[in-house]
Amino acid sequence: MRINIGNRLWLKKVVSGMWYDTKSSHLLNTWRRQCFWLVTAQRRKGSAGSRWQEEKSEDGVKWKQLEHKGPYFAPLYEPLPDEVHFYYDGKAMKLSLATEEIATFYGKMLDHEYTTKEVFQNNFFNDWRKEMTVEEKKIIKHLNKCDFTEIHKYFVDKNEARKALPKEEKQKLKEEAERLQEAFGYCILDGHREKIGNFKTEPPGLFRGRGDHPKMGMLKKRIMPEDVIINCSRDSKIPEPPPGHKWKEVRFDNTVTWLASWTENIQNSIKYIMLNPSSKLKLALRAGNEKEEGETADTVGCCSLRVEHIQLHRELDGQEHIVEFDFLGKDSIRYYNKVPVEKPVFKNLQLFMENKDPGDELFDRLTTSTLNKHLQDLMDGLTAKVFRTYNASITLQEQLKVLTNAEDNVAAKILSYNRANRAVAILCNHQRATPKTFEKSMQNLQTKIDAKKEQLAVAKQELKRAKADAKVRKSVKSKSNVDKKKKLLAKLEEQLMRLCTQATDKEENKQVALGTSKLNYLDPRISIAWCKKFGVPVEKIYNKTQREKFAWAIDMADEEFEF
DNA sequence: GCTAAGACTTGGAATAATCTTG
DNA sequence: CAAGATTATTCCAAGTCTTAGC
């Protein structure tokens, strides 16, 4: 029982990053129900095109009719022109088609960091050799004797050429892409035309695992119709496989939403063709499922944390009971944070670490399913993921309340909004690499600010002179001149202020990715209510795509909306 | 109960489209 | 008006969580 209590206490603080008390539990519950209703209502509205209705979900049935054209297959390999050579040990060598194709995958990536990694090189070379002819295999024995530079140059040039194309040609290519989108990019779902998210099969290439991935560089094979399972409705027009080919299978499963699927050869997982994620509502540590050792990069979530990932400090920087986290999370992004916890939580963590090695699991009796089960006991439908979302939204609302100043101008209010958004992104650990052009664009901005300051100084001088002039002459003309200069000065001050705000925003945003939380975690009604309340145009917060996605919220949220 | 497979969702990097500016 | 910077979109790997099979 002690373990149970221990985990429960730990849950309170560590899983959620916030306190889970009766009050927030009630809020959370209300919010979930509301969201569920909204989402289902929105789906209905979208698909039935009529009024909102109550959801009457028959268990598991996702559609009655589904018709589509099947996936669009990646274009076949085009052999290299004769003048582009591959060299082995300094000698030009003509490769068989299949071998050449794989060589181009590597050649294209030559200026990418991946190709400097030993694991990548070894995996690539192993897989490449498997596809070689017997003769090629006899000759090509070492990657370091392979020279791909001509191949690399060929693709770089080709890219440049495409960019430099005259605009009529570019227009043609664009129209071609649109035709493709028209032909393959839509399906009919229960009588309505819906956009497909990804209608193309993934092209062959070299696997780009993230972080320290043991399989990076392995050959991702070409997907053939024979690999693809089609899912559609029985009475629909069944998609035609490309001439001379057959589907692996055609099935009529209306309990799932995918249109086509295939098994990918690197991890043996299933890939899907699915609908475009339309209006859906999409909490601070991830649950952390178990992963297969050696098959993927070594990353963890909260249930799979190991003793080596935390450090306990009875006292640190004047605070008591500090837990220091340091581990690699999703996409191998580092999570580093020092969190003060309640004494019982601290005590339990100490207990969990006793007699364990650094590589042992911290919570050895906890798995994601027991964790979620526990959460479900607390509240119907609650999972770690839901908590992540809730936490993000409530933080945004709180931060907006704290940071916004009603007397500020619009630029300052937007800065406040971005700061609130940033607080959420930091909470969810949405990091990004500092953009390559960051320093430069910061400098540009600073130059602009300096220039503006100069203008301002000049304008001040002129105003002074105009005032002096008006005092002497007292003419109508000189008076209006003073007004003019005053206006100019005010305008310049406003511009300067806006630039400075922008610079602050940019600096603070250096390593934080805002997009993910904005699009996937935050209840849009909070943002929209904020816009309405403080007179900020919605376009300043959401771009075109985002406004489309959140159209329902824009419609309904008023300034009084409380999350 | 437990593991494995399957179905979605999330999320940063790469790429494409658009805007700015010298 | 091209080059460079910025922003939007696409891509697909990597998570979460449910279900199936023992």
Condensed to tens digits (0 to 9), the pLDDT of residues A53-62 reads: 323 345 678 8
For residue A376, give both structure tokens: 């479900």
> Which of the two residues, A242 and A284, has the higher pLDDT score?
A242
The answer to whether residue A543 is domain-embedded is no
Length A389 CA → C21 C1' (Å)? 33
Domain containing residue A227: CATH number: 2.170.11.10
Q: How far is Cα A162 from Cα A173, in angstroms, rounded to an integer?
A: 10
- pLDDT tens digits for range A158-200: 888 888 877 777 888 888 888 899 899 999 988 888 889 999 9
Collapse the DSSP code of A486 into the 3-class scheme (helix H, G, I; strand E, B; otherwise coil) and give the result: helix
In window 28-57 of A, residues with CB < 7 A from nucleic chain B are: none
Looking at the structure, tell me whether residues A249 and A159 fall in a common domain: no
CB proximity list for A35: less than 8 A, separation 6 or greater: A281, A523
Looking at the structure, tell me whether residues A45 and A92 fall in a common domain: no
The answer to whether residue A544 is domain-embedded is no
Question: CB burial class (10 A; 0-12, 13-18, 19+) of residue A562?
Answer: exposed
Looking at the structure, tell me whether residues A157 and A92 fall in a common domain: yes
End residue of a domain, out of A488, A508, A528: A508
**Overall pTM surpassing 0.85 (yes/no):** no
Domain count, chain A: 5
Closest nt by CA–C1' to A544? C8
Closest nt by CA–C1' to A282? B9
Q: Is the CB of A262 under 7 A from strand B?
A: no
Question: CB burial class (10 A; 0-12, 13-18, 19+) of residue A314?
Answer: exposed
Q: Is the CB of A438 under 7 A from strand B?
A: no
The answer to whether residue A464 is domain-embedded is yes
Looking at the structure, tell me whether residues A151 and A178 fall in a common domain: no
End residue of a domain, out of A364, A382, A404: A364
pLDDT-derived band of residue A320, with 50, 70 and 90 as boundaries?
confident
Looking at the structure, tell me whether residues A261 and A176 fall in a common domain: yes
- Domain containing residue A95: 86-163
Minimal CA–CA distance to A55: which of A31, A557, A47?
A47
- pLDDT tens digits for range A460-499: 777 777 777 777 777 777 676 676 767 767 666 766 776 7
Closest nt by CA–C1' to A231? B7
The answer to whether residue A294 is domain-embedded is no
pLDDT-derived band of residue A557, with 50, 70 and 90 as boundaries?
low
Q: Which nucleotides of C are covered by protein (CB under 7 A)?
A: 5-9, 11-19
Domain containing residue A499: CATH number: 1.10.132.10
**Section A33-39 average pLDDT:** 39
- According to DSSP, residue A540 is labeled G
Minimal CA–CA distance to A531: which of A522, A540, A519?
A540
Q: How far is Cα A216 from Cα A204, in angstroms, rounded to an integer?
A: 14
Q: How far is Cα A353 from Cα A312, in angstroms, rounded to an integer?
A: 10
pLDDT for A117 equals 95
pLDDT at A282 over 50: no
β-strand pairing of A66-67 with A319-328 = unpaired
Q: Which amino acid is at A79?
A: P
For residue A125, give both structure tokens: 């070379």
pLDDT at A555 over 50: yes
In window 295-334 of A, residues with CB < 7 A from nucleic chain C are: 296-297, 299, 301, 329-332
Helix residue ranges, H only, A307-409: 343-353, 368-378, 384-403
pLDDT at A105 over 90: yes
pLDDT for A7 equals 25
The answer to whether residue A136 is domain-embedded is yes
- Catalytic annotation, residues of A: 521
In window 446-505 of A, residues with CB < 7 A from nucleic chain C are: none
The answer to whether residue A555 is domain-embedded is no
Instruction: Give residue A560's Cα distance to chain centre.
Output: 30
Looking at the structure, tell me whether residues A209 and A146 fall in a common domain: no
End residue of a domain, out of A163, A194, A222: A163
Looking at the structure, tell me whether residues A192 and A252 fall in a common domain: yes
Q: Is the CB of A389 under 7 A from strand B?
A: yes
pLDDT for A30 equals 40
In window 530-559 of A, residues with CB < 7 A from nucleic chain C are: 543-545
Judged by phi (left if over 0) then psi (alpha if -120 to 50, else beta), residue A98 lies in alpha
Looking at the structure, tell me whether residues A177 and A268 fall in a common domain: yes
In window 340-359 of A, residues with CB < 7 A from nucleic chain B are: none
Q: Is the CB of A217 under 7 A from strand C?
A: no
Length A327 CA → B14 C1' (Å)? 26
Looking at the structure, tell me whether residues A181 and A134 fall in a common domain: no
Domain containing residue A353: CATH number: 3.90.15.10
Length A133 CA → C13 C1' (Å)? 31
The answer to whether residue A75 is domain-embedded is no
- According to DSSP, residue A146 is labeled E
Collapse the DSSP code of A371 into the 3-class scheme (helix H, G, I; strand E, B; otherwise coil) and give the result: helix
- pLDDT tens digits for range A407-460: 887 778 888 888 888 888 888 878 877 777 777 777 777 777 777 777 777 777
Minimal CA–CA distance to A341: which of A15, A4, A5, A56?
A15
**Section A509-535 average pLDDT:** 81
Looking at the structure, tell me whether residues A208 and A156 fall in a common domain: no
Length A231 CA → C1 C1' (Å)? 50
The answer to whether residue A383 is domain-embedded is no
Q: Is the CB of A337 under 7 A from strand C?
A: no
Q: Is the CB of A490 under 7 A from strand B?
A: no
Looking at the structure, tell me whether residues A314 and A348 fall in a common domain: yes
pLDDT at A309 over 80: yes
Closest nt by CA–C1' to A445? C5
Looking at the structure, tell me whether residues A200 and A158 fall in a common domain: no
Minimal CA–CA distance to A110: which of A146, A83, A149, A142?
A149
